Amino acid sequence: MILQVKGVSKFFGGLRALNEVDFDLPEGMILGLIGPNGAGKTTLFNVIGNVFSPDQGSILFQGEDLVGRPTYMASRLGMARTHQVVRPLNDLSVRENVMVGACFGKVGFGLRGAASLVDETIDFVGLSESRENLAASLNVSQKKRLELARALASQPDLLLLDEVLAGLNQAEIATMLDKIREVRERGVTIVMIEHVMQAVMGVSDRIVVLDYGEMIGDGTPAEVSKDPKVIEAYLGDPDLAEEMLGD
């Protein structure tokens, strides 16, 4: 198991953002994390990524407990993430942005050592033409790809993708899904939060459904979309369920 989420609860004041969330994730899998807005998906990412500590429970990443350790340790141990609202380092070039990922990631390359990895990663996400441009000058789709490049350059074992498809057009979504599959082929385990149902159902091996901080579903895409609890609480609409299974 690369990731074990054990009975994790998180409160914000009186609000219970996560309630006893519990699942294990084996290596090499793509896990889709879905749920309505405010279900606690990004909070769960922040807890897994060691940005917040859980109020109860623990997160074991490759057998190591992350709770109480500094945020940057997650990256050093081989976990990388993208942000739902992109966070480019605006005044640095695309190359420097990706360099940060490579230099402070799992391996912790020096600037020279990182050079070829950084260039390959930029080519991989298709930002070669913007290599020397400032991150601030990129459009939304490019900024999403920059997030992915930064995360990949850290050479993670576990990649957390927070709505990388949001705001992309159909063609861009297809390209991004290809990239995600390719990353998995390299042996990286992926957890992705996604609202584009068809896409996440198509690419995931397994789906976890959150609603009001509770895990209400866990299984293959087909199982989850047939689960009456999921349909009732989350989808509420049999047509949408059909769409999820479509294609």
Query: 190: alpha, beta or left, given left = phi > 0 and alpha = psi -120 to 50?
Result: beta
Q: Sheet harboring 30-34: ordered strands across?
A: 79-81, 158-162, 189-193, 30-34, 206-211, 214-219
Q: How far is the CB of 209 from other proteins (least distance, A)?
A: 25
Q: How far is the CB of 70 from other proteins (least distance, A)?
A: 7
Output 128 or 220, the one with its CB closest to other proteins.
128
Query: According to the binding rule CB under 8 A, does residue 103 interact with other proteins?
Result: yes
Query: According to the binding rule CB under 8 A, does residue 110 interact with other proteins?
Result: yes
Tokens of residue 220, six digits: 């293959």
Where do we find the tokens 């957390």? 160
Query: According to the binding rule CB under 8 A, does residue 68 interact with other proteins?
Result: no
Query: Which of 92, 131, 198, 226: binder of other proteins (CB under 8 A)?
Result: 92
Judge contact between 59 and 4, C-beta under 8 A. yes
Query: According to the binding rule CB under 8 A, does residue 74 interact with other proteins?
Result: yes
Cα separation, 217 vs 14, whole angstroms: 25
Which of the residues 134 through 163 are near other proteins (CB under 8 A)? 150, 154
Q: H-helix or E-strand containing 177?
A: helix 170-185
Task: Name the site residues for other proteins (rule: CB under 8 A).
Answer: 49, 51, 70-72, 74-76, 80-81, 83, 87-92, 96, 99-101, 103-105, 108, 110-112, 115, 150, 154
